[in-house]
Amino acid sequence: MKSRFEELYKTKISPELKKDLTLKNIMEVPRINKIVINTGVKEAAADSKVLQGVKEIIEGIAGQAAVKTKAHKSIASFKLREGSAIGIMVTLRGKRMYDFLDKLINLALPCVRDFQGVSIKFDGSGNYNLGIKDWMIFPEVDYDKVDKSRGLNITVHTSTRNDEHARALLKAFNMPFRLS
């Protein structure tokens, strides 16, 4: 069974983008390849139980298993050793990716206090990074089980190298971009 956003992309968005961007081939139409959710946990260097709690919450938000990310090098001033687990990451593809994007755009972002829209800046390679200051905007987060409010980084990787094409793709999914 396809997700709602996947069906929308295949039936409506893809043909419209081909026409609007004046692309010759349907394979040139930008699409979303993957979504990566990432968070750093600085307290994990001192207490590994904190990391396990964060991992469970990220898995609830994403709907699939997350992995622990490790430090690449030691930094004495941060009391960090090479190889110690300091973050959580999950990569979404396929149906889960579209379901998460639907939840992000239609449920989570409208819950942000004083929401003015998300930034229109892309990374120059057609990918979009979105920083969320508080993960409590997601409905899966249980307030009673959370010890501390944390932030997330969400990266949407697209198949295009053109920022304008990627922006048109996300705008077609009704991503609430800031006006200026």
Higher pLDDT, 91 or 117: 91
How remote is the C-alpha of 75 from its chain's centroid?
28
pLDDT value of position 90? 94
Structural tokens at position 49:
């139980």
> 126-150, pLDDT tens digit by residue?
899 989 888 888 888 777 777 788 8
Q: What is the mean pLDDT of the chain?
A: 84
pLDDT value of position 144? 74
pTM, to two decimals:
0.86
Task: Calculate Rg over the CA atoms of the chain.
Answer: 18
pLDDT value of position 140? 82
> 91-116, pLDDT tens digit by residue?
999 899 999 998 888 888 888 888 88
Rounded CA separation 127/8 (Å): 21
> 62-83, pLDDT tens digit by residue?
889 988 887 767 766 666 567 6
Structural tokens at position 25:
């081939």
Rounded CA separation 177/118 (Å): 5
pLDDT value of position 92? 92
Helix (H, G, I), strand (E, B) or coil at 129: strand
Confidence of residue 54 (pLDDT cuts 50, 70, 90): confident
